[in-house]
Structure 1
Amino acid sequence: MKYGVVIFPEKKIQDIANSYRKRYDPHYALIPPHITLKEAYDFDENHLNEATNHLEQISRETAPFEILLHKVSTFHPTTNVLYLAVQESEDIYSLHEQVNSGELFHESSYQFIPHITIGQKLPADEMHDIYGRLRMVNVQLKTRIDRFHLLYQLDNGSWTIYQTFLLRG
Protein backbone atom coordinates (compact mmCIF):
# COMPACT_ATOMS: atom_id res chain seq x y z
CA MET A 1 0.00 0.00 0.00
CA LYS A 2 1.20 3.55 -0.70
CA TYR A 3 1.69 5.93 2.22
CA GLY A 4 2.78 9.56 2.48
CA VAL A 5 3.17 12.26 5.12
CA VAL A 6 1.69 15.71 4.54
CA ILE A 7 0.72 18.98 6.15
CA PHE A 8 -2.71 20.40 5.35
CA PRO A 9 -2.70 24.23 5.65
CA GLU A 10 -5.52 26.21 7.23
CA LYS A 11 -8.87 26.21 5.41
CA LYS A 12 -8.50 29.76 4.01
CA ILE A 13 -5.28 28.73 2.26
CA GLN A 14 -6.85 25.48 1.04
CA ASP A 15 -9.70 27.55 -0.44
CA ILE A 16 -7.26 29.82 -2.28
CA ALA A 17 -5.22 26.87 -3.57
CA ASN A 18 -8.39 25.04 -4.63
CA SER A 19 -9.57 28.04 -6.64
CA TYR A 20 -6.62 27.27 -8.96
CA ARG A 21 -6.46 23.50 -8.52
CA LYS A 22 -10.00 22.85 -9.73
CA ARG A 23 -8.93 24.27 -13.12
CA TYR A 24 -5.26 23.28 -13.32
CA ASP A 25 -4.70 20.15 -11.21
CA PRO A 26 -6.07 16.77 -12.31
CA HIS A 27 -5.48 15.50 -8.72
CA TYR A 28 -7.92 18.08 -7.33
CA ALA A 29 -10.50 15.45 -6.33
CA LEU A 30 -7.94 12.96 -4.97
CA ILE A 31 -6.33 14.96 -2.13
CA PRO A 32 -6.80 18.40 -0.52
CA PRO A 33 -4.09 21.08 -0.96
CA HIS A 34 -1.04 20.04 1.05
CA ILE A 35 2.69 20.31 1.65
CA THR A 36 4.36 16.95 1.16
CA LEU A 37 6.79 15.98 3.93
CA LYS A 38 7.30 12.44 2.65
CA GLU A 39 6.45 11.59 -0.93
CA ALA A 40 4.26 8.60 -1.69
CA TYR A 41 6.01 5.29 -1.14
CA ASP A 42 5.08 1.63 -0.90
CA PHE A 43 5.34 0.58 2.70
CA ASP A 44 5.11 -2.87 4.20
CA GLU A 45 2.12 -2.77 6.52
CA ASN A 46 3.99 -5.01 8.98
CA HIS A 47 6.19 -1.97 9.73
CA LEU A 48 3.29 0.42 10.18
CA ASN A 49 3.49 0.32 13.98
CA GLU A 50 7.19 1.31 13.92
CA ALA A 51 6.44 4.09 11.44
CA THR A 52 3.64 5.55 13.56
CA ASN A 53 5.83 5.35 16.69
CA HIS A 54 8.56 7.23 14.78
CA LEU A 55 6.09 9.95 13.74
CA GLU A 56 4.62 10.15 17.23
CA GLN A 57 8.10 10.75 18.70
CA ILE A 58 8.69 13.58 16.20
CA SER A 59 5.35 15.19 17.07
CA ARG A 60 6.21 15.11 20.79
CA GLU A 61 9.54 16.87 20.16
CA THR A 62 8.43 19.47 17.60
CA ALA A 63 6.73 22.72 18.51
CA PRO A 64 4.05 24.29 16.31
CA PHE A 65 5.35 26.98 13.92
CA GLU A 66 4.22 29.37 11.20
CA ILE A 67 5.11 29.42 7.54
CA LEU A 68 4.60 32.02 4.84
CA LEU A 69 3.50 31.20 1.31
CA HIS A 70 5.08 34.08 -0.56
CA LYS A 71 4.88 33.57 -4.34
CA VAL A 72 3.69 31.46 -7.23
CA SER A 73 6.49 29.48 -8.85
CA THR A 74 7.12 26.54 -11.16
CA PHE A 75 9.35 23.48 -11.41
CA HIS A 76 9.72 23.98 -15.17
CA PRO A 77 11.73 22.66 -17.03
CA THR A 78 11.88 19.58 -14.76
CA THR A 79 8.08 19.22 -14.65
CA ASN A 80 5.16 21.43 -15.62
CA VAL A 81 4.02 22.10 -12.06
CA LEU A 82 2.77 25.41 -10.68
CA TYR A 83 2.85 25.93 -6.93
CA LEU A 84 2.57 28.31 -3.99
CA ALA A 85 6.09 28.52 -2.59
CA VAL A 86 6.87 28.36 1.13
CA GLN A 87 9.37 31.00 2.21
CA GLU A 88 12.61 29.56 3.62
CA SER A 89 11.85 28.18 7.08
CA GLU A 90 14.22 26.17 9.24
CA ASP A 91 11.23 24.67 11.06
CA ILE A 92 9.71 23.00 8.00
CA TYR A 93 13.08 21.76 6.72
CA SER A 94 13.82 20.29 10.14
CA LEU A 95 10.41 18.59 10.29
CA HIS A 96 10.95 17.13 6.80
CA GLU A 97 14.39 15.83 7.77
CA GLN A 98 13.07 14.19 10.95
CA VAL A 99 10.13 12.55 9.17
CA ASN A 100 12.48 11.15 6.51
CA SER A 101 14.82 9.50 9.00
CA GLY A 102 14.87 6.29 10.99
CA GLU A 103 12.05 3.89 10.13
CA LEU A 104 10.93 6.10 7.21
CA PHE A 105 14.30 6.75 5.60
CA HIS A 106 14.70 6.15 1.90
CA GLU A 107 16.42 8.09 -0.84
CA SER A 108 14.16 10.72 -2.36
CA SER A 109 14.12 11.35 -6.08
CA TYR A 110 13.75 15.11 -5.56
CA GLN A 111 15.24 17.84 -3.40
CA PHE A 112 12.74 19.00 -0.75
CA ILE A 113 11.13 22.27 -1.83
CA PRO A 114 8.16 22.96 0.45
CA HIS A 115 5.15 24.02 -1.62
CA ILE A 116 1.45 23.59 -2.35
CA THR A 117 0.79 22.40 -5.88
CA ILE A 118 -1.87 24.44 -7.69
CA GLY A 119 -1.38 23.07 -11.22
CA GLN A 120 0.27 20.03 -12.79
CA LYS A 121 0.41 17.90 -15.93
CA LEU A 122 -0.19 21.01 -18.01
CA PRO A 123 0.96 21.39 -21.62
CA ALA A 124 4.07 23.64 -21.72
CA ASP A 125 2.36 26.53 -23.53
CA GLU A 126 -0.57 26.56 -21.12
CA MET A 127 1.73 26.29 -18.09
CA HIS A 128 3.81 29.29 -19.28
CA ASP A 129 0.66 31.33 -19.97
CA ILE A 130 -0.84 30.61 -16.53
CA TYR A 131 2.49 31.17 -14.77
CA GLY A 132 2.95 34.47 -16.59
CA ARG A 133 -0.33 35.69 -15.10
CA LEU A 134 0.02 34.18 -11.62
CA ARG A 135 3.56 35.28 -10.89
CA MET A 136 2.23 38.87 -10.85
CA VAL A 137 -0.13 38.01 -7.98
CA ASN A 138 1.06 39.30 -4.60
CA VAL A 139 1.02 36.23 -2.35
CA GLN A 140 1.48 36.73 1.41
CA LEU A 141 -0.33 33.88 3.16
CA LYS A 142 0.62 32.85 6.70
CA THR A 143 -0.48 29.55 8.14
CA ARG A 144 0.16 27.87 11.47
CA ILE A 145 1.53 24.35 11.33
CA ASP A 146 0.44 22.41 14.39
CA ARG A 147 -0.04 18.89 12.96
CA PHE A 148 0.92 16.56 10.18
CA HIS A 149 -0.79 13.48 8.78
CA LEU A 150 0.12 9.97 7.69
CA LEU A 151 -2.03 9.21 4.62
CA TYR A 152 -2.66 6.10 2.58
CA GLN A 153 -3.87 5.74 -0.98
CA LEU A 154 -7.15 4.01 -1.76
CA ASP A 155 -7.72 1.80 -4.81
CA ASN A 156 -9.42 4.68 -6.67
CA GLY A 157 -6.27 6.85 -6.32
CA SER A 158 -7.63 9.15 -3.61
CA TRP A 159 -5.82 9.68 -0.32
CA THR A 160 -7.23 9.42 3.19
CA ILE A 161 -5.82 10.07 6.66
CA TYR A 162 -4.49 7.06 8.54
CA GLN A 163 -3.34 9.04 11.60
CA THR A 164 -2.86 12.68 12.63
CA PHE A 165 0.08 13.80 14.75
CA LEU A 166 -0.24 17.00 16.80
CA LEU A 167 2.94 19.05 17.28
CA ARG A 168 3.42 19.53 21.01
CA GLY A 169 7.15 20.05 21.57
Structure 2
Amino acid sequence: MNYGIAIFPSKPIQDQANAYRKRYDPHYALIPPHITLKRSFEANDDKLDELITELKTIANETDPFTIHINKVSTFTPVTNTIYFKVEPVQALIDLQAKMHVGKFEDNNEHPFVPHITIAQDLVHDEYSDVFGRLKMESFQFEDAIDRFQLLYQLDNGSWTVYETFVFGKEQV
Protein backbone atom coordinates (compact mmCIF):
# COMPACT_ATOMS: atom_id res chain seq x y z
CA MET A 1 0.00 0.00 0.00
CA ASN A 2 1.16 3.56 -0.69
CA TYR A 3 1.67 5.92 2.24
CA GLY A 4 2.75 9.53 2.59
CA ILE A 5 3.32 12.01 5.40
CA ALA A 6 1.96 15.56 5.32
CA ILE A 7 0.92 18.59 7.33
CA PHE A 8 -2.54 19.99 6.72
CA PRO A 9 -2.69 23.75 7.33
CA SER A 10 -5.60 25.52 9.00
CA LYS A 11 -8.96 25.92 7.28
CA PRO A 12 -8.40 29.56 6.16
CA ILE A 13 -5.23 28.54 4.29
CA GLN A 14 -6.92 25.45 2.85
CA ASP A 15 -9.89 27.55 1.73
CA GLN A 16 -7.63 30.06 -0.04
CA ALA A 17 -5.60 27.29 -1.68
CA ASN A 18 -8.75 25.45 -2.76
CA ALA A 19 -10.12 28.62 -4.37
CA TYR A 20 -7.28 28.18 -6.91
CA ARG A 21 -7.00 24.40 -6.85
CA LYS A 22 -10.63 23.88 -7.91
CA ARG A 23 -9.74 25.44 -11.24
CA TYR A 24 -6.01 24.86 -11.66
CA ASP A 25 -5.13 21.57 -9.93
CA PRO A 26 -6.31 18.26 -11.41
CA HIS A 27 -5.48 16.59 -8.07
CA TYR A 28 -7.96 18.82 -6.23
CA ALA A 29 -10.35 15.95 -5.45
CA LEU A 30 -7.59 13.54 -4.40
CA ILE A 31 -6.10 15.30 -1.36
CA PRO A 32 -6.68 18.53 0.61
CA PRO A 33 -4.06 21.32 0.49
CA HIS A 34 -0.97 20.17 2.37
CA ILE A 35 2.76 20.43 2.95
CA THR A 36 4.40 17.15 1.94
CA LEU A 37 6.92 15.88 4.49
CA LYS A 38 7.45 12.53 2.78
CA ARG A 39 6.23 11.71 -0.70
CA SER A 40 4.53 8.44 -1.57
CA PHE A 41 6.25 5.25 -0.39
CA GLU A 42 5.26 1.60 -0.08
CA ALA A 43 5.16 -0.33 3.19
CA ASN A 44 3.83 -3.69 4.30
CA ASP A 45 2.08 -4.15 7.67
CA ASP A 46 5.26 -5.06 9.58
CA LYS A 47 7.20 -2.12 8.18
CA LEU A 48 4.24 0.18 8.83
CA ASP A 49 4.17 -0.78 12.52
CA GLU A 50 7.87 0.12 12.77
CA LEU A 51 7.32 3.43 11.03
CA ILE A 52 4.34 4.35 13.23
CA THR A 53 6.46 3.78 16.33
CA GLU A 54 9.14 6.02 14.85
CA LEU A 55 6.57 8.69 13.89
CA LYS A 56 5.26 8.73 17.46
CA THR A 57 8.80 9.30 18.72
CA ILE A 58 9.37 12.11 16.22
CA ALA A 59 6.08 13.79 17.17
CA ASN A 60 6.83 13.46 20.90
CA GLU A 61 10.19 15.18 20.38
CA THR A 62 8.82 18.01 18.21
CA ASP A 63 7.57 21.31 19.59
CA PRO A 64 4.77 23.19 17.82
CA PHE A 65 6.01 25.87 15.42
CA THR A 66 4.61 28.61 13.21
CA ILE A 67 4.72 28.80 9.45
CA HIS A 68 4.45 31.92 7.31
CA ILE A 69 3.22 32.28 3.74
CA ASN A 70 3.88 35.61 2.03
CA LYS A 71 3.82 34.88 -1.68
CA VAL A 72 3.36 32.40 -4.49
CA SER A 73 6.25 30.78 -6.29
CA THR A 74 6.82 28.15 -8.96
CA PHE A 75 8.89 25.11 -9.88
CA THR A 76 9.26 26.21 -13.50
CA PRO A 77 11.16 25.31 -15.66
CA VAL A 78 11.03 21.82 -14.10
CA THR A 79 7.22 21.78 -13.94
CA ASN A 80 4.45 24.34 -14.40
CA THR A 81 3.48 24.06 -10.74
CA ILE A 82 2.45 27.15 -8.76
CA TYR A 83 2.40 27.10 -4.97
CA PHE A 84 2.07 29.08 -1.77
CA LYS A 85 5.67 29.42 -0.60
CA VAL A 86 6.01 28.33 3.03
CA GLU A 87 8.94 30.15 4.59
CA PRO A 88 11.49 27.47 5.54
CA VAL A 89 11.67 27.63 9.34
CA GLN A 90 14.26 25.33 10.92
CA ALA A 91 11.69 23.27 12.84
CA LEU A 92 9.92 22.36 9.58
CA ILE A 93 13.20 21.55 7.82
CA ASP A 94 14.28 19.34 10.73
CA LEU A 95 10.91 17.57 10.84
CA GLN A 96 11.05 16.76 7.14
CA ALA A 97 14.64 15.51 7.44
CA LYS A 98 13.63 13.04 10.17
CA MET A 99 11.24 11.39 7.69
CA HIS A 100 14.19 10.32 5.52
CA VAL A 101 16.66 8.71 7.95
CA GLY A 102 16.81 5.69 10.24
CA LYS A 103 13.87 3.36 9.65
CA PHE A 104 12.67 5.57 6.77
CA GLU A 105 13.79 5.16 3.20
CA ASP A 106 15.33 8.34 1.82
CA ASN A 107 13.01 8.84 -1.16
CA ASN A 108 13.79 12.53 -1.66
CA GLU A 109 14.10 13.29 -5.36
CA HIS A 110 14.65 17.03 -4.90
CA PRO A 111 15.76 19.38 -2.12
CA PHE A 112 12.94 20.13 0.34
CA VAL A 113 10.98 23.23 -0.68
CA PRO A 114 8.11 23.72 1.80
CA HIS A 115 5.02 24.63 -0.19
CA ILE A 116 1.28 24.16 -0.70
CA THR A 117 0.45 23.45 -4.34
CA ILE A 118 -2.30 25.62 -5.80
CA ALA A 119 -1.89 24.86 -9.53
CA GLN A 120 -0.17 22.10 -11.51
CA ASP A 121 -0.06 20.39 -14.90
CA LEU A 122 -0.87 23.68 -16.63
CA VAL A 123 -0.12 24.26 -20.30
CA HIS A 124 2.52 26.94 -20.71
CA ASP A 125 0.24 29.82 -21.76
CA GLU A 126 -2.19 29.17 -18.91
CA TYR A 127 0.71 28.82 -16.45
CA SER A 128 2.17 32.17 -17.56
CA ASP A 129 -1.20 33.91 -17.23
CA VAL A 130 -2.06 32.44 -13.80
CA PHE A 131 1.40 32.93 -12.31
CA GLY A 132 1.62 36.46 -13.70
CA ARG A 133 -1.63 37.39 -11.93
CA LEU A 134 -0.87 35.58 -8.66
CA LYS A 135 2.63 36.96 -8.17
CA MET A 136 1.14 40.46 -8.07
CA GLU A 137 -1.23 39.51 -5.24
CA SER A 138 -0.35 39.78 -1.58
CA PHE A 139 -0.68 36.70 0.59
CA GLN A 140 -0.21 36.94 4.34
CA PHE A 141 -0.78 33.74 6.29
CA GLU A 142 0.54 32.62 9.64
CA ASP A 143 -0.33 29.19 10.97
CA ALA A 144 0.49 27.27 14.13
CA ILE A 145 1.58 23.73 13.28
CA ASP A 146 1.21 21.14 16.03
CA ARG A 147 0.71 17.83 14.17
CA PHE A 148 1.34 15.83 11.04
CA GLN A 149 -0.57 13.00 9.40
CA LEU A 150 0.32 9.60 8.00
CA LEU A 151 -1.81 9.15 4.88
CA TYR A 152 -2.62 6.18 2.70
CA GLN A 153 -3.75 6.04 -0.89
CA LEU A 154 -7.08 4.49 -1.84
CA ASP A 155 -7.69 2.49 -5.02
CA ASN A 156 -9.23 5.55 -6.72
CA GLY A 157 -6.00 7.53 -6.20
CA SER A 158 -7.31 9.72 -3.37
CA TRP A 159 -5.48 10.05 -0.05
CA THR A 160 -6.96 9.75 3.43
CA VAL A 161 -5.57 10.03 6.97
CA TYR A 162 -4.34 6.80 8.52
CA GLU A 163 -3.14 8.35 11.79
CA THR A 164 -2.45 11.81 13.24
CA PHE A 165 0.62 12.55 15.35
CA VAL A 166 0.40 15.52 17.74
CA PHE A 167 3.64 17.29 18.68
CA GLY A 168 5.01 17.02 22.20
CA LYS A 169 2.20 14.77 23.33
CA GLU A 170 3.19 11.37 24.67
CA GLN A 171 1.71 8.90 22.20
CA VAL A 172 1.57 5.18 22.79
Write out the 4+ residue segments of structure 1 that deviate beyond 6 Å after TM superposition. Answer: none
Please state how far the C-alpha of 1:46 moved relative to its aligned partner: 2.2
One-letter identity of the residue aligned with 1:124: H
Does the Cα contact within 8 Å between 2:4 and 2:38 map onto a contact in 1?
A: yes
1:53 equivalent in alignment to 2:65: no
> Residues of 2 paired with 1:127 and 1:43: CA distance?
35
More displaced, 115-124 or 43-52?
Answer: 43-52
One-letter identity of the residue aligned with 1:104: F
The TM-score normalised by the length of structure 2 is 0.95
Structure 2, gaps ≥5 residues long: none
Count of matched residue pairs? 169
> Residues of 2 paired with 1:154 and 1:146: CA distance?
26
> Residues of 2 paired with 1:18 and 1:35: CA distance?
14
SS at match of 1:168: coil
The TM-score normalised by the length of structure 1 is 0.97
Q: Cα deviation per residue 1:10-56 (whole Å; 9 max; x = unaligned)? A: 00100000000000000101100000000111222320110000100
Matches of residues 2-17 of structure 1 in structure 2 within 5 Å?
Answer: 2-17=2-17
Matches of residues 78-93 of structure 1 in structure 2 within 5 Å?
Answer: 78-93=78-93
Q: In structure 2, what is the equivalent of residue 149 of structure 1? A: 149
Percent of aligned positions that are identical:
51
Matches of residues 92-131 of structure 1 in structure 2 within 5 Å?
Answer: 92-131=92-131
Q: In structure 2, what is the equivalent of residue 158 of structure 1? A: 158
Q: Cα deviation per residue 1:58-77 (whole Å; 9 max; x = unaligned)? A: 00000000000111011000
Q: In structure 1, what is the equivalent of residue 76 of structure 2? A: 76
One-letter identity of the residue aligned with 2:56: E
Q: Cα deviation per residue 1:116-149 (whole Å; 9 max; x = unaligned)? A: 0000011011111100000011111001100000
SS at match of 1:88: coil
